[in-house]
């Protein structure tokens, strides 16, 4: 199946998050592998456990757990995207671990197909940012866990960088576009209309995660907030404009075409932004939370 015929989640995961660029894909994975390892480390995986990976995507966490789970362990890969589950099934067949896998199309806030107290571990990575009913999701995590079961999650705290300073373009990857402010504002407005502050991507922070976990019934809860403000690395222009920040927003190239009506506007915008991107003359502001807890 070509990526163009897949749903928005699969298209983003398999191509749009890295713009189809090999170097950008490697940069994404260099960031994600340590995240996976930390999530699994916080989960205290044991041989023979049943691990439910909610919003599994390409199965990074679930498949990464198999070595620790051993041949007697089992993974349940759940996602809203059937296309991504199909991708995971293909990976499982290639890895010859299909007998240890169960695939479930479900959202994080409705895991009805999974019985009460039937799994040992629940993991998520960058999932609740797409879930409006976050409290319901935590309640579902609690319900399906056995007593002594562990929840381990990683979530970007996008509210940290929002709103960006008016002269900066990009909330998380910021470039100074003072000299082309009018055009930059048009592009920023387009993104803001698609994902306003009330969007699930932006409507919570680390304190809300703690509150939701506690309300769901979890007792001892641990949370670590990681905040970074750092220079951006140089990036290729084509990869940069063909990347989408998440599955619900356009790439920069698509946004420019939609928001900047004239070719003159687009050319001036690119002429200013492109050298900054290629030279890495910008600032990245990011925050993320690791939360882990046990059901007593």
Question: Containing H/E element for 52?
Answer: strand 50-54
Domain-wise residue ranges, the chain:
3-157+202-231+285-294, 163-196+233-280
Q: Is the pLDDT at 18 greater than 70, yes or no?
A: yes
Q: What is the mean pLDDT of residues 255-264?
A: 96
Q: Is the pLDDT at 7 greater than 70, yes or no?
A: yes
pLDDT digits (tens, 9 = 90+) for 106-161: 999 999 999 999 999 999 999 999 999 999 999 999 999 999 999 999 999 999 98
Least confident of 117-126, 128-137, 172-181, 243-252: 172-181
pLDDT digits (tens, 9 = 90+) for 87-108: 999 999 999 999 999 999 999 9
Residue 150, phi then psi, degrees to nearest 5? -120, 140
| Residue 148 · residue 139 · CB < 8 Å | no
The distance in angstroms from the start CA to the end CA of the chain is 44
CATH level 3 topology of 3-157+202-231+285-294: Rossmann fold (3.40.50)
Q: Which residues contact 161 (CB under 8 A, 6 or more apart)?
A: 171, 172, 285, 286, 287
| Residue 269 · residue 180 · CB < 8 Å | yes
Q: What is the predicted pLDDT for the residue at 3?
A: 55
* CA dist., res. 149 & res. 156, Å (int): 24
Q: What's the pLDDT band for 165 if we cut at 50, 70, 90?
A: confident
Task: List 283's β-bridge partners, or say none.
Answer: 174, 231
- Mean model confidence pLDDT for the chain: 95
């Amino acid at each position: 199946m070509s990526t163009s015929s897949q749903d928005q989640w699969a298209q983003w995961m398999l191509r749009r998050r890295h713009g189809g660029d090999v170097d950008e894909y490697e940069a994404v994975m260099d960031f994600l592998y340590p995240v996976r390892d930390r999530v699994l480390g916080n989960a205290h995986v044991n041989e023979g456990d049943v691990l439910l990976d909610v919003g599994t995507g390409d199965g990074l966490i679930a498949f990464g757990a198999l070595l620790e789970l051993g041949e007697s362990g089992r993974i349940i890969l759940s996602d809203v995207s059937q296309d991504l589950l199909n991708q995971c099934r293909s990976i499982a067949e290639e890895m010859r671990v299909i007998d240890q896998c169960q695939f479930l199309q479900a959202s994080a806030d409705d895991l009805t197909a999974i019985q009460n107290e039937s799994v040992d571990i629940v993991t998520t990575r960058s999932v609740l940012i797409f879930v409006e009913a976050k409290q319901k999701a935590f309640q579902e995590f609690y319900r399906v866990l056995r007593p002594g079961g562990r929840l381990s999650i990683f979530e970007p705290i996008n509210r940290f960088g929002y709103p960006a300073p008016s002269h900066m373009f990009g909330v998380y990857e910021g470039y100074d576009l003072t000299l082309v402010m009018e055009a930059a504002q048009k592009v920023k407005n387009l993104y803001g209309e698609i994902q306003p502050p009330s969007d699930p991507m932006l409507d919570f922070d680390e304190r809300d995660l703690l509150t939701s976990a506690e309300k769901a019934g979890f007792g001892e809860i641990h949370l670590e907030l990681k905040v970074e403000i750092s220079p951006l690395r140089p990036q290729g222009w084509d990869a940069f404009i063909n990347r989408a920040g998440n599955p619900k927003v356009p790439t920069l190239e698509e946004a420019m075409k939609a928001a900047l009506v004239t070719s003159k506007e687009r050319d001036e915008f690119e002429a200013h932004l492109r050298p900054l991107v290629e030279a890495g003359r910008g600032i990245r502001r990011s925050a993320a939370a690791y939360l882990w807890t046990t059901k007593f």
